[in-house]
Amino acid sequence: MIRIALLCLLLAGCATTRGPVHGIVQVDGDAVSLDVRGQVVPVAASRDLLAELRRLDRAGVGVRGAIQGGTLRVRSYELVEGPDGLPAYYGTLVVDQGGPVLKDEVTGARIGLRVLDLEELRQQHGARLWVTGTFVGGQVLMVASWGILQPAE
């Protein structure tokens, strides 16, 4: 109920979000919007941030920013769940002799990744990416899906 009231307040004029607004990213061509409990809000952001959000079609995110003229101007976001509905982890991919490892941006943990197409993932060394999957022991994730947020430089 509080989130719906906050969204109504935000859409009514210019307001800054106090906490993250949670929703599902929707991409239609170049346009990005956020579906917040059935209310679809157009999104504006920096070029780099918009490029990342375009790569997260159907993913669950928490965004921070301000509403201006009915558009959510995103300042930052957190990825909550992947497009497949599973909890998501994101960070920089490091590939070394032990295999691919994700340096998680939220926790700082190094998560070992096990994936069916190892060679395709290895080629993304240094990229910022998201992954979903199931932990199969300690800090090892059996990857269900993954995608690139920012290509390696």
- pLDDT tens profile 113-143: 999 888 888 899 999 999 999 999 889 999 9
Report residue 81's pLDDT band, with 50, 70 and 90 as the boundaries. Answer: very high
Q: If one looks up domain 88-150 in CATH, what number appears?
A: 2.40.50
- pLDDT tens profile 3-55: 444 444 444 444 566 679 999 999 999 999 999 999 999 999 999 999 999 99
CATH architecture type of domain 2-81: Beta Barrel (2.40)
In the chain, domain spans: 2-81, 88-150
- More confident: 1 or 91: 91
Helix/strand/coil for 83: coil
